[in-house]
Amino acid sequence: MNDGSGLTDAQLNELTDLVNKVHGFDFSAYSKASLKRRVVRVMTNKSMRFYDLKHALVNNNDFFQWFLDEITVNVTEMFRDPDFYKALNKQVIPYLSTYQHVKVWSAGCSSGEEVYSLAILLNEAGLGKKSFIYGTDVNTEMLKEARRGIYSLKKIRNYAENYQLTGLKGTLTDHFTIMYDAATIHNELKNNSLFSIHSLVSDSIFNEFQMICCRNVFIYFETELQERVLELFYNSLSPLGFLCMGTKEAIRSDRLKKKFKVINARENIYQKIAD
Amino acid sequence: MDSDFGKAVIVVIHRRKNFFSEIEKLFAENSRMLFKEITDKEKIKPNTVYVAPANYHTLVEKERCFGLDVSESVWYSKPSIDVTFESAADVYKQRCTAILFSGANQDGADGLLTLRNTGALTIAQDPLDAEMPQMPEAAINIDAAEYILRTSEILELIELK
Ligand SMILES: C[S@@+](CC[C@H](N)C(=O)[O-])C[C@H]1O[C@@H](n2cnc3c(N)ncnc32)[C@H](O)[C@@H]1O
């Protein structure tokens, strides 16, 4: 994207301040390099100058909603990082199966692929009847897609390789009803999940979970915000509950490292140490 | 490259997700510098070779750390060289040196031009030496490379720097 539609750091800050003041959404602790790229992308796609963008953000609430949906990165896959799901199956599921009820939170769930992957995994392990998965995100369009649970056959075909690599039996399409080029997740899996809006920046604890998955969301947060959210996760986990982060994400702060035990260092699976 | 090279090296290679490649091993065995696959918010330190992980873009943050990003592929590539080049230009400006090697699309050309325009030293591998010449060619076509060097010359440059 070398079209000269650059954005200075000062302009980015100005925009962040403005969005916070007018719409109460705080981007100030988001990773700047990626945030900047997303804003420039919006400006390029809409042929907007900085001034136009500011104007639209202040005067048009629908535009802000659209902007928020564009700025967040929603790219996701079912069974992204097959080794992670393998590790879950081996190291976490046996533990979870000893519980009466298993509540899981997928924070930053985008269009639901992670939630349904977890649902399939739990179901295959025989925990389908006693588990429930909460998916949350700030992107309302993605949440709508997640609730529908309908994906294009093309997408599902792309995810099929991941599924194969997790070593689960059968094929990914076994969990969907296929009609023409649309694949609908089976009802028994969909009924075990609930999607709602929740911002990790500004919203607080809403339930207690045996497992929290927050993958590929922290990469968009600066380290201080990551720490704040880790605090929220710690408080939302039941004693000895599990925290799963992305494969390239890790707990960096020494203070927080002390609160979690490492279950799998490669896949960044942690367990809450009882307080 | 010696362990007192004095700079950080970022390596971005087009690669497929889910498949461990031999690249890491190759580097680790042949470089005397510390060698790492990048994780999110990792501090950028000199005398270290960092490799961009598959299925993420790697960006450089103002705080001199890496930021990862899973957004859409650029030129069908994730990691995309353009993305890393452009963010490095924003942070390091004229203080970085960029070399674009062989590749099958035009990823890296725009980023190299951005770097050149911010005063960085930009180099393209001579397409005659490249296994897949499209990438350096694309950069040369838009005049993004200050120097076009043979592979042997590039190796010499890296050793001497
Ligand atoms: C790259 S997706 C990750 C999807 C999935 N977890 C995965 O790993 O494939 C990142 C998601 O984080 C969401 N997100 C960004 N900021 C957020 C916030 N403040 N609170 C909750 N979710 C947020 C985005 O809307 C996006 O859907």
Residue B20: per-residue pLDDT: 61
pLDDT in tens, A164-220: 999 999 999 999 999 999 999 999 999 999 999 999 999 999 999 999 999 999 999
Tell me the CATH number for domain A82-272: 3.40.50.150
Q: Give the best residue of A9, A31, A69, A253 to mutate against chain B (max B CB count within 10 A).
A: A31
| A-chain residue closest to B73, CA distance | A75
Q: Supply angle C-alpha A203, A76, A57, rounded to 5.
A: 55
Check CB contact of A178 with chain B, cutoff 8 Å.
no
Q: Find out whether A150 and A175 touch, Cβ atoms under 8 Å.
A: no
In chain A, beta strands by DSSP E: 102-107, 131-137, 150-152, 176-179, 182-185, 193-197, 209-214, 237-245, 260-264, 269-272
| R_g of chain A computed on alpha carbons | 20
Q: Which domain holds residue B48?
A: 8-160
SS3 A1: coil
pLDDT grade, residue B16 (50/70/90)? confident
pLDDT-above-90 percentage for chain A: 96
In a domain, B1, yes or no: no
How many folded domains does chain B comprise?
A: 1
Tokens of A28: 């100030």
CB contacts of B71 in chain A (<8 Å) are 34, 37-38, 73, 75
Q: Which helix (H) or strand (E) holds A86?
A: helix A82-87
Residue B31: per-residue pLDDT: 74
Could you report the average pLDDT of every consecutive run of 10 residues in chain A (275 residues)? 67 97 96 97 95 94 94 97 97 97 98 98 97 98 98 96 96 96 97 97 97 98 97 97 96 95 97 85
Ligand 1 pocket, CB under 6 A: A 72-77, 80, 108-110, 114, 137-139, 142, 199-201, 215-217, 220; B 70
Burial profile A72-89: b = 16 or more Cβ within 10 angstroms, e = fewer: bbbbbbbbbbbebbbbbb
Residue B161: per-residue pLDDT: 46
Phi, psi of B63 (to 5 degrees): -75, 15
CATH for B132: 3.40.50.180
**Which residue in B39, B53, B59 is closest to A33 by CB distance?**
B59
In a domain, B2, yes or no: no
CB contacts of A218 in chain B (<8 Å) are 40
How far is residue A78's CA from residue A161's CA, in Å, rounded to a whole number? 10
Check CB contact of A73 with chain B, cutoff 8 Å.
yes
pLDDT in tens, B53-67: 999 999 999 999 999
Q: Find out whether A191 and A134 touch, Cβ atoms under 8 Å.
A: no
In a domain, B126, yes or no: yes
Contact residues, B window 55-114, toward A, CB-based 8 Å cutoff: 55-56, 59-63, 67-72, 82-83, 86-87, 90-91, 110-111, 113-114
This prediction's pTM: 0.95
Q: Is the pLDDT of residue B6 over 60?
A: yes
What ranges do the domains of chain A cover? 9-71, 82-272
Residue B79: per-residue pLDDT: 96
Neighbour count for residue B124 (Cβ, 10 Å)? 27
How far is residue B17's CA from residue A81's CA, in Å, rounded to a whole number? 9
Distances (CA, A) of B58 to A2, A33, A138, A185: 18, 10, 24, 33
